Amino acid sequence: MSTGFSPYRLPEEYDDIRSATREVCETGVAPNAAEADATATFPKASYAALKASDLHAPHIPAEYGGAGIDALGTAIVIEEVARACASSSLIPAVNKLGSLPLLLDASEDLKRRYLPPVAAGEAMFSYCLSEPEAGSDAASMTTRAVRDGDEWVLDGVKRWITNAGVSEFYTVFAVTEPGAGAKGISAFVVEKGDAGVSFGKPEKKLGIKGSPTAEVYLDSVRLPAGRLIGEAGQGFSLAMRTLDHTRVTIAAQALGIAQGALDAATAYAAEREQFGRPIAAFQGVQFLLADAAMKISAARELTYAAAARSERGDGDLTYFGAAAKCFASDAAMQITTDMVQVLGGYGYTQDFPLERMMRDAKITQIYEGTNQVQRIVIARELQRGNAF
């Protein structure tokens, strides 16, 4: 079985993170993957297994009760969870996405209030940016936040919210200064139990069915002024800075899905016999496996390079985050499709995990910025001289 290790030697601590995560996933996550997909239900058993090993929100610093794993280590955790179950990998990935705005810009009081419960596994955090008419064009959002004395009043609808209804906390972006465009958007922490918060029906999706996706409705939701993250008017900038970091986690998710598909297809090809020998002996199958391995190796190098830049806060993170997400997700879609082909008719059935992995891989090309948008980001960073 493939280890999925990077060709160059990482410090031992990262090997330990990978080994520990893989062990947890093989016993506590992978066995739940097919059922979560078939029933479209949140994998509570997988969450419990990750929580018990401090892998549900590994990025939260130790001072807030977290494991304090850095960006590269967190990417490895997400990669390994995705190798077993893409839906479950959205537990650590979306906990990071939802809470990272606090780590980047929130007051210490806000961090102390909301990060420890997530670190303890008592709550999850989601990220509310997209709207029915504001997807790639996030700055055109219409959700409003109006100041009323010592409170903010929020009204609007957020769409495509991962783990909506399961998460206790939500980072919500809303317009606080109409007419100011991107400079008139602010960020807030909203709690599931706040009056006026409700959720739509879960979307019926192609993949990642074990991670609920739904609309979040905000009907005159009153928040204390202290729930503002950072300064008013800085929310859109915060949203984009967050995505620079968390696109690395989507690259890691795509990488894990691709590695899981290659591992399953390689094992199958060694056992399946046709014409008197294993199909792994045939050049047509060998080429599919070899191409997949090369693309995974390249995606891993780029993803880890982006993760290192995320940890350091390098000036070329925007380029590397977009490039890693785009390359790894395109590779995952191609690899999972090819690995279904290796299994032939069996790959098209639910008796094997390949068809699920193929369906799961598709979303990595879409969320946290479509790959068409990533290519625009990459081109702009090239023109600005921020690519290398």
- 151 has catalytic annotation: no
Q: What is the pLDDT of residue 8?
A: 54
Distance (Å, rounded) from C-alpha 278 to C-alpha 243? 44
Q: Are 359 and 207 in contact (CB under 8 A)?
A: yes
Q: Are 123 and 64 in contact (CB under 8 A)?
A: no
Is 330 in a helix, a strand, or coil?
Answer: helix
Phi (first) and psi of residue 40, to 5 degrees: 55, 50
Q: What is the pLDDT of residues 248-266, one digit of tens each?
A: 999 999 999 999 999 999 9
Q: What is the pLDDT of residues 115-142, one digit of tens each?
A: 999 999 999 999 999 999 999 999 999 9
Q: Are residues 90 and 165 in the same domain?
A: no
Q: Are 209 and 86 in contact (CB under 8 A)?
A: no
Q: Are residues 109 and 138 in the same domain?
A: no
Q: Are residues 94 and 135 in the same domain?
A: no
pTM: 0.96
Q: Are residues 263 and 378 in the same domain?
A: yes
Q: Are residues 47 and 105 in the same domain?
A: yes
Q: Are 234 and 105 in contact (CB under 8 A)?
A: yes
Supply the CATH number for residue 67's domain: 1.10.540.10
Distance (Å, rounded) from C-alpha 126 to C-alpha 28? 23
Domain final residue pick, 119, 151, 185: 119
Report angle CA 89, 337, 341 to the nearest 5 degrees. Answer: 130
Given the residues 79, 80, 368, 381, the one annotated as active site: 368
Q: Is residue 6 part of a domain?
A: no
123: left (phi over 0), alpha (psi -120 to 50) or beta: beta
Could you tell me what percent of the chain has a pLDDT over 90? 96
Domain that holds residue 114: 12-119
Q: Is residue 208 part of a domain?
A: yes
Q: What is the pLDDT of residues 341-355, one digit of tens each?
A: 999 999 999 999 999
To the nearest 10 degrees (0 to 180), the angle between helices 86-105 and 354-362 is 30
Domain final residue pick, 93, 119, 145: 119
Is the Cα dihedral 365, 123, 241, 244 positive or negative? Answer: negative
Q: Which two tokens stand for residue 148?
A: 């009323």
Q: Is residue 5 part of a domain?
A: no
Q: Which two tokens stand for residue 375?
A: 């290519």
Q: Are residues 266 and 370 in the same domain?
A: yes
Q: Is residue 104 part of a domain?
A: yes
Total number of domains in the chain: 3
Distance (Å, rounded) from C-alpha 354 to C-alpha 341? 9
Q: Are residues 94 and 169 in the same domain?
A: no
Is the Cα dihedral 53, 58, 61, 65 positive or negative? Answer: negative
The neighbouring-strand residues paired with 171 are 127, 189
Domain final residue pick, 212, 234, 256: 234
Q: Are residues 252 and 202 in the same domain?
A: no
Q: Are residues 242 and 374 in the same domain?
A: yes
Q: Is residue 88 part of a domain?
A: yes
Q: Is residue 2 part of a domain?
A: no
Spatial CA neighbour of 114 closest among 65, 54, 51? 65
Q: Is residue 316 part of a domain?
A: yes
Supply the CATH number for residue 312's domain: 1.20.140.10
Q: Are residues 310 and 335 in the same domain?
A: yes
Q: What is the pLDDT of residues 280-336, one digit of tens each?
A: 999 999 999 999 999 999 999 999 999 999 999 999 999 999 999 999 999 999 999
Q: What is the pLDDT of residues 51-103, one digit of tens each?
A: 999 999 999 999 999 999 999 999 999 999 999 999 999 999 999 999 999 99
Q: Are residues 249 and 355 in the same domain?
A: yes
Q: Is residue 154 part of a domain?
A: yes
Q: Are residues 109 and 240 in the same domain?
A: no
